[in-house]
Structure 1
Amino acid sequence: MRILGLSAFYHDSSACLIEDGRIVAACQEERLTRIKHDSNFPARSLQYCLQQAGCGPQDIDHIVFYEKPFLKFERLLETYLAFAPRGFKSFCKAMPLWLNEKLFQKKLLADELQDLGFSKLQTQDILFSSHHLSHAASAFYPSPFTEALVLTMDGVGEWDTTTVYLGRGSELTKIKELHFPHSLGLLYSAFTYYCGFKVNSGEYKLMGLAPYGKPIFADIIRQHLIDVKADGSFRLNLKYFDYCTGLTMTNKAFDQLFGGVQRQSEQELKPVHMDLAASIQAVLEDVILKMTRALATEHKIENLCLAGGVALNCVANGKIHDEKIFKNIWVQPAAGDAGGALGAAQAVWYGHLKNIRHTPLSAAPKIPTASWTSADDQMQGAYLGPSFSNDEILKFLESKKIPYTFSADSVLSENVVQHLTSEKVIGWFQGRMEFGPRALGNRSIIADSRSRDMQKKLNLKIKFRESFRPFAPAVLAEDVADWFDYTEVSPYMLMVAQVRKDKLLPTQSDGLFGIDLLNQVRSEIPAITHVDNSARLQTVHQDTNPRFHDLINTFKKKTGVSVLINTSFNVRGEPIVCTPEDAYRCFMGTDMDVLVLGNYILLKENQPAGERVDYKDQFELD
């Protein structure tokens, strides 16, 4: 039986196809349209999923959408009525869109599907999951656990902003919920907006900025903006926010509370913005820790699954881990709305159709820490997107008359490591594209973690992004404890850990603050060591990505270091590359030195001058 899950019309549209419960394919529409966070109907992703499964529209048994539009419309109307006459301008702007399109989403979906060949489809054939159930299903069902608490946190779905589900076997039962307008995700997004970053895409920048500042505003936030109870439940003081009825996240009262320091996009970052970032990050962590402690105490369950946009805050995830509140934590790699397509499909398979769920760990639900590996979950390393064979890559190279050398499997890693140890920046394009916001070794830019200048070079000359932003380490899973204060697996780059103290170097931070801290050489692997000596870990596993694992292992044999820089293969504002053509265009538009497409190695100095492009302004800044 085949089930097609769809997410669309807000941000990060996607499609996912499962077959008898197994995830066959999943893809975000932005990767195929080249429009960052594309919210349109995921026509191309849907077609890719059918192609990957080797089937046509007539072979799909169920189609499910990731949320319920009527409930969302109900929330919109009730919110405007509750705050009337405030928000009339916003109401007038929103209503035509809802009345002309979103309110009739079921017909819109049916029309789009019929255009793609679903000719026998009737509107009543489309199923709808709730937004947070889709998130919870995406977190629990692919996880390695037979029993877990499932915490989902985001801006808002229909009404829910935070939910707790109990997952047992094939069943998911909601046991707690918090409703709009009280939202941890929207609170964090308010500070994202106030610090001059884009809502729904700049939150990770705020998280990366936080270690440069001090949480001097945390008490003001706790006193005026959020009332947090002992169990982590909370209410926001809506006096300071404008997201319910206005066209902005914050208002004049919020601005006055923090001294009128709102930053506009692309303006200079000042120490006060770093302090604001540090402060809201501290408050977010405090709320999440209270919530997870209370849940662990109440339910006595050892496993936690996370999803929703807030679950992408890997610093907060790392705090849960460090507190040892749960023995095991599993985070859905596509934790945002894109993952809703996957969760909706699985909610139908297990919840609606009542199929029995089996996991590799079914025989041992109460597993000790670190006894599960990336192969024990159902995400296949998150490598669920399109792939391109060497023959397809060669066809592209020959069509463009692009100079290359071919490197056999037996020597590919050795040849690439020679470039890495020469401090070359390498575009690494292999296998199936990742599902979710992180590049995990198949659509990656990689470099030597030992380089003292690589962090700055990558930010300014390759990614064209803000200089303060850190880079993540890809480390051999078996060596993670040699370099970091961490002993478990983190295959999806969603946990932050500290670099081991014996790998740190002495620094003099007296009198330095903000960006001045960036230039310090803090450890033996300075290119991935953030200013607070932390790193966002990806553990690389031989069973899910043997080629990337072999590359790092070869680098280790050469240097004694089993850590590489791994950042997504794109520039600021661009979706991660999908095709060889995408990769080559990005390669020729940046200061990358080497491009590895499958087994083909391309050197920048050998490329035709006419292929160079001015890439910096190709995409709208995120």
Structure 2
Amino acid sequence: MYILGISAYYHDSAACLVKDGTIVAAVQEERFSRIKNDASFPESAIKYCLSAAGIALTEVDHVVFYEKPFLKFERLLDTIFAFAPHGLRAYLKAMPIWIKDKLFTRGNISKALQQIDQNWKEREGGLLFCEHHSSHAASAFFASPFEKAAILTVDGAGEWVTSSIAVGHGNNTNRIKYINFPHSIGLLYSAFTYYLGFKVNCDEYKVMGLAPYGKPVYRSLIYKCLVDVKADGSFRINMNFFNYASGLTMVNQNFVKLFGNKIRAKDETITKFHMDVAASIQNVTEEILLKIARDIKAKTGCENLCMAGGVALNCVANGKLLRSGIFKNIWVQPAAGDAGGAVGAALFIYYQHLQNKRKIGDENQMQQMLLGPAFSAEEIAHTLNKLNIRYHKLNPDSYLKTVAEKIADGMVVGWFSGRMEFGPRALGARSILADPRDPGMQLKLNLKIKFRESFRPFAPAVLQKYCHVYFNLRVASPYMLFTAPVSQWQLDGDEDDSFAVGVATLKEVRTTIPAVTHVDYSARVQTVDELNGSFYHLLQAFYLVTGCPILINTSFNVMDEPIVCTPEDAVSCFLKTDMDLLAFENILIYKSENLNIH
């Protein structure tokens, strides 16, 4: 039985094909269109999923959309009337889009599918709709290895629900508590993202990365004026300071006056004030999630917790939740945002709606997230010849050893191997790799490779068996979803020394792996084992060359572009950055030999 899950029209469209409960393929539309967070109908993503399975669309038993548009429209209307007359501008902007397009989502999906395969026809029960947070919950629980678990979903908003608690048992997820729009942790965090000059629904992770540079001096102000949080973690947002329910911006002038500074412009210098604001909302978010987690444990008694929704990508909060010991085991859906809704919708229909027998205990149901397109060495060589790229083809053993040696010599390497990752993280298939021991590498990667803000941290990929030597992390973290303290640190002085302030702290060497140690002595860890294939073998080779079992692993892209998908994408990104070496499928390309290629 084939189930095709689709997320589309709002943020980060994606498709996922499930066969008899096993994920065959999953990919975001942005990887094909090259438009970051592309929200259009995922036509290319669907075509890829079908080709990966070797089937036609007519062979799919059910197509399922990840949310219910009519419920979302109901929320829009109710919100506009509740905030009238302030919601008039939002109403005038939203109504034409809904009347022309979004109210007819079923028909639009049918037409789009018929364009993919003219023989496809909607039959009774063939096109289904799953509620947004049910999709999130299913993506977390049914992809987890647990027979029973508590489920926490937290994001900006679905149709109505913004946060939910459920219990998953066998083939069912049963919601026991929820909070509705406009009260939302995700939108609260996004409001601060907007205030700090970053892009909403895209740059929240920048706020998380900026937070360690500041101090949570506005924590009390946030609790006093913006959000009322109860002991069980339930909360209410004071909408007198926000515009997202009724306007076209996230915050209003009351919010600006409260903090005493105007909204930061996109290219404006980041100051200590901005760092302190980021630290404050990050601290509040962590505290709310910890309160919710304690309430979940008390209500359900479950030892296992599954998480999804955009807020579940806050790996700093996840790390603190893990270290709290509230739950014995925590499993976070790696594609926790809207793209993962395609996975959850498909799994919800297969297991909960159709009650098919569930596979339980498989720790790798997400298959290391390696669910996208792959390209053979012959296809890659054909592309390189077409582009007139000079390259060297090596045997597998010398290939890995050479790449490891070049990284140890200070080269920055674009790494392209096997199936592309699904979700927001590069996990060793479409990655930029470098030496974590180099104190200057963090700034070099940010400014000359990624072309992004200098304060942004980088993640370490570490061989699983050596993780405990470098990080205080008690579990495997194959998907970069937990931040952990770095064990080997304080090389420049004592913890209480008067260090530099703000971004200047980047110049301090804190650990034996300074390029992946954030200013608070933490790191977003990816553990790597044999399941990671050639990336694991490269890490092994680097360890043999250097005695260090860690590589910097960041996504193969530049700022505001999606992760590369094809060999053409990889070559294009490689040539327009200061990367030194491009490595894929036993082929090496040196920048120094291709300086005249454009």
TM, length-normalised to structure 2: 0.98
Query: Structure 2 vs 1, CA of residues 360 and 46 (structure 1 numbering), >3 Å: closer, same or farther?
Result: same
Equivalent residue letter for 2:172? E
Distance 1:449 1:120 in 2: 51
**In the alignment, what sits opposite 2:521?**
533
Query: Structure 2 vs 1, CA of residues 486 and 409 (structure 1 numbering), >3 Å: closer, same or farther?
Result: same
Distance 2:259 2:144 in 1: 41
Distance 2:394 2:231 in 1: 59
Q: Is the 8 A contact 1:503 1:524 kept in 2?
A: no
**In the alignment, what sits opposite 2:42?**
42
1:389 aligns with 2:376: yes
Question: What whole-Å deviation, never above 9, does each CA across 1:298-349 have from its counterpart, x for those lacking one?
Answer: 2211111110000000000001011111111111110000000010000000
1:252 aligns with 2:253: yes
Q: Is the 8 A contact 1:107 1:123 kept in 2?
A: no
Distance 1:305 1:341 in 2: 17
Distance 1:246 1:328 in 2: 41
Q: 1:278 offset after TM fit, Å?
A: 0.1
**In the alignment, what sits opposite 1:242?**
243
- Equivalent positions of 1:191-270 (< 5 A) are 191-270=192-271
Three-state SS of the structure 1 residue aligned to 2:91 is: helix
**In the alignment, what sits opposite 2:9?**
9
Q: Is the 8 A contact 2:499 2:505 kept in 1?
A: no
- Equivalent positions of 1:140-539 (< 5 A) are 140-360=141-361, 376-501=363-488, 504-506=491-493, 509-510=497-498, 512-539=500-527
Three-state SS of the structure 1 residue aligned to 2:578 is: coil
Question: What whole-Å deviation, never above 9, does each CA across 1:447-501 have from its counterpart, x for those lacking one?
Answer: 0000010000000000000000000000011111010011210000010000004
Q: 1:132 offset after TM fit, Å?
A: 0.3
Q: 1:193 offset after TM fit, Å?
A: 0.1
Q: 1:418 offset after TM fit, Å?
A: 1.1
Q: 1:261 offset after TM fit, Å?
A: 3.5
Equivalent residue letter for 2:34? R
Q: Is the 8 A contact 1:58 1:118 kept in 2?
A: no
Equivalent residue letter for 2:2? R
Q: Which runs of 5+ in 2 are unaligned?
A: none
**In the alignment, what sits opposite 1:19?**
19
Question: What whole-Å deviation, never above 9, does each CA across 1:93-116 have from its counterpart, x for those lacking one?
Answer: 110000000011111111111111
Q: Is the 8 A contact 1:461 1:591 kept in 2?
A: yes
**In the alignment, what sits opposite 1:619?**
none
Equivalent residue letter for 2:474? T
Question: What whole-Å deviation, never above 9, does each CA across 1:395-417 have from its counterpart, x for those lacking one?
Answer: 11122221111121122211101
**In the alignment, what sits opposite 1:68?**
68
Distance 1:212 1:118 in 2: 55
Q: 1:120 offset after TM fit, Å?
A: 3.7
Q: 1:509 offset after TM fit, Å?
A: 4.9
Distance 2:67 2:374 in 1: 29
Q: Is the 8 A contact 2:21 2:359 kept in 1?
A: no
Q: 1:503 offset after TM fit, Å?
A: 7.2
Equivalent residue letter for 1:536? R
Q: 1:505 offset after TM fit, Å?
A: 4.6
Distance 1:152 1:450 in 2: 37
1:602 aligns with 2:589: yes
Q: 1:297 offset after TM fit, Å?
A: 2.2
Distance 2:164 2:289 in 1: 12
**In the alignment, what sits opposite 2:57?**
57
The count of residues paired between Structure 1 and Structure 2 equals 596
Question: What whole-Å deviation, never above 9, does each CA across 1:52-108 have from its counterpart, x for those lacking one?
Answer: 000001111100000000000000000001111111111101100000000111111
Question: What whole-Å deviation, never above 9, does each CA across 1:106-140 have from its counterpart, x for those lacking one?
Answer: 11111111111153422753100000000110111
Q: Is the 8 A contact 1:106 1:123 kept in 2?
A: no
Equivalent residue letter for 2:421? E
Equivalent residue letter for 1:266? D
Equivalent residue letter for 1:519? K
Question: What whole-Å deviation, never above 9, does each CA across 1:214-246 have from its counterpart, x for those lacking one?
Answer: 000000000110110111010010100000010
Q: 1:553 offset after TM fit, Å?
A: 1.3
Three-state SS of the structure 2 residue aligned to 1:177 is: strand
Distance 2:189 2:491 in 1: 31
Q: 1:20 offset after TM fit, Å?
A: 0.5
Question: What whole-Å deviation, never above 9, does each CA across 1:543-562 have from its counterpart, x for those lacking one?
Answer: x2121111111111221111
Q: Is the 8 A contact 1:593 1:604 kept in 2?
A: yes
- Match for 1:546 among 533, 539, 560? 533
Query: Structure 2 vs 1, CA of residues 118 and 483 (structure 1 numbering), >3 Å: closer, same or farther?
Result: farther
Equivalent residue letter for 1:68? K
Distance 2:19 2:408 in 1: 43
**In the alignment, what sits opposite 1:77?**
77
- Equivalent positions of 1:582-601 (< 5 A) are 582-601=569-588
**In the alignment, what sits opposite 1:618?**
none
Distance 1:20 1:516 in 2: 53
Equivalent residue letter for 2:236? R
Q: Is the 8 A contact 1:455 1:470 kept in 2?
A: yes
Equivalent residue letter for 1:90? A
Three-state SS of the structure 1 residue aligned to 2:523 is: strand
Three-state SS of the structure 1 residue aligned to 2:38 is: coil
Distance 2:365 2:98 in 1: 37
**In the alignment, what sits opposite 2:108?**
108
Q: Is the 8 A contact 2:147 2:361 kept in 1?
A: no
Q: 1:513 offset after TM fit, Å?
A: 1.3
Distance 1:504 1:70 in 2: 58
Question: What whole-Å deviation, never above 9, does each CA across 1:261-320 have from its counterpart, x for those lacking one?
Answer: 421111110110000000000000000000001111222111111100000000000010
**In the alignment, what sits opposite 1:371?**
none
Q: Is the 8 A contact 1:213 1:514 kept in 2?
A: yes
Equivalent residue letter for 2:3? I
Equivalent residue letter for 1:418? E
Three-state SS of the structure 1 residue aligned to 2:104 is: helix
Three-state SS of the structure 2 residue aligned to 1:348 is: helix
Query: Structure 2 vs 1, CA of residues 174 and 115 (structure 1 numbering), >3 Å: closer, same or farther?
Result: same
Equivalent residue letter for 1:255? V
Distance 2:122 2:526 in 1: 44
Q: 1:512 offset after TM fit, Å?
A: 2.1
Three-state SS of the structure 2 residue aligned to 1:571 is: coil
Three-state SS of the structure 1 residue aligned to 2:330 is: strand
Report sequence identity in percent.
Answer: 54
Distance 1:533 1:123 in 2: 56
Moved over 2 A (4+): 122-125, 501-509
Q: Which segment is superposed worse, 528-537 or 120-129?
A: 120-129
Three-state SS of the structure 2 residue aligned to 1:265 is: coil
Q: Is the 8 A contact 2:426 2:554 kept in 1?
A: yes
**In the alignment, what sits opposite 1:616?**
none
Distance 1:253 1:553 in 2: 55
Q: Is the 8 A contact 2:148 2:304 kept in 1?
A: yes
Q: Is the 8 A contact 1:509 1:517 kept in 2?
A: no
Distance 2:182 2:114 in 1: 37
